[in-house]
Structure 1
Amino acid sequence: MKNAVSRSTFGGLDHVVINTMRDMDAAAVAFTILGFRLTPRGHHSLGSINHLMMTPGPYLELVGVPPEGLQRQDVVDSPFGLNGLVIACADADATFASLEQTGLPVEPPVAFSRPVTFSGQTEVAEFRTVRFPAACFPAGRIYHCEHLTPDLIWRPEWQVHPNGFCRISKLVVTSPDPAMDVDRYAAACNAVAHQDREGWFVPLGDFRLDVVPGPVARFMELDLLFGTLDEIERRAVAMPNVVWVRQAATCATLRLAEFNLSLTCRSPR
């Protein structure tokens, strides 16, 4: 059923996507060992599979394709690793109409669903998305998502993580021409580009998209916030093929080469 009060406002961050392609099993094991609480595996009607790492606000999604059957082409064709920036919207039709005015190519809303099982019962979560063609943003997918059943996604039991994960704070994107590309990212997010001492960025509530110089367009690094770094550090240093580098008491870098992934982990203390 549709929640009476929308969790999302047009232009805010909804979630960030990590594309595991056909390595979902390995990714789910790795993130569980690192102390993230994963939702049960979902199977989308479009032909993709997922696990979520929820917070009270924006969440982190592992997406991939099943080994057999329908396989979602935009997942197969998109970059491996960090590859999706998803903006919240309350009305996909209104979002599509607004984005058409930006001059960016935009595709009409698409509806899809997936079963969600909790407390011994199964419900159907429903979504509508508004996407840009892949060539529009070669660094990764950017799209808007309307949650028709947010109460099936933001469940309290999925928001507490053994490692203390609590928020997504920043995505760093490289670009050969940040000054030009930041305006396109801002238009796609229904936001305004800004510049500070660190460079160009697009603020989306308490999240920011940083667009920095780089030889190719790429979703480079994601910043995550934790209550403390002690538990995720304890878990990360015990894992093979994982690199944990502590820069300060409140900041560390976590690299998972197996999934082409670099995470900056921060805490307030």
Structure 2
Amino acid sequence: MRDALIAHGLTPQPTFDLSRPLDLGNGKMADVKFRVTTLKPNSIPGSDVFYCQHITPELVWRPEWQTHTNGCIGMTRLSINVNDPKAASELYLRAMDVVKLENTEANACIIHLSNFQITLVHETEKPLGMFKLVFGTDSLEKVSDALTQGG
């Protein structure tokens, strides 16, 4: 990962390994392991981008942990306020596997990833940084029920 980031003109920090114990719920414990590469702080406007390789994905991506009563199926969109959306989008292009870049207007760009989109805007009335995260659901009725029941 580091070599690819350097080739794209970015400044990654040294890669490091992390692990943590996980209670599997059946009286057994396991170590969840990750390999993480971060970029130098403030390399990407509005976000501290990092890359996390799941060494033990079978312990983390378990079907029983991927459902919620509100029907959430994942994050779909993120909005970030930056000083210069066009300049920031160039850095995001180098840092991510971008499918498409859309210049919507002078003060906004939309970065399309495979299952996610990032909207970079410049809005003077908002502080710089992330300001909106949108989650997808398979049912608005499930969302309504979960909110009504406090779930």
TM over 0.5: yes
Q: Which residue among 201, 223, 226 is the counterpart of 2:134?
A: 223
SS, match of residue 3 in structure 2:
helix
Identity %: 26
Q: 1:159 aligns with which of 42, 45, 66?
A: 66
Match for residue 124 of structure 1 among 31, 49, 57: 31
Greater RCO, 1 or 2 (C-alpha within 8 Å, sep 6+): 2
1:67-120 Cα shifts (integer Å, max 9, x gaps): xxxxxxxxxxxxxxxxxxxxxxxxxxxx10010122222112111101111132
2:65 aligned partner, one-letter code = W
Number of residue pairs the alignment of both structures matches: 145
Give the aligned partner of residue 94 of structure 2.
Answer: 187
Q: Find the aligned partners of 1:151 and 1:192 in 2 and give their Cα distance.
A: 27
Q: Distance in 2 between matches of 1:182 and 1:204?
A: 13
Please report the TM-score for the alignment, with normalisation by the length of structure 2: 0.84
Contact 1:110–1:130 (Cα < 8 Å) also in 2:
yes
| Aligned 8 A contact 1:193 1:200 in 2 | no
Moved segments of 4+, more than 6 Å: none
Paired residue secondary structure (2:93): helix
| Residue 197 (structure 1) shift | 3.9
SS in 2 for 1:162: coil
Structure 1 match to 2:147: 236
Does 1:104 pair with 2:5?
Answer: no
CA RMSD of aligned residues (A): 2.1
**Cα gap change, 1:202 to 1:138, in 2 (>3 Å):** closer
Normalising by structure 1, report the TM-score: 0.49
- Structure 1 unpaired stretches of 5+: 1-94, 240-269
Counterparts of 1:110 and 1:158 in 2: how far apart (Å)?
26
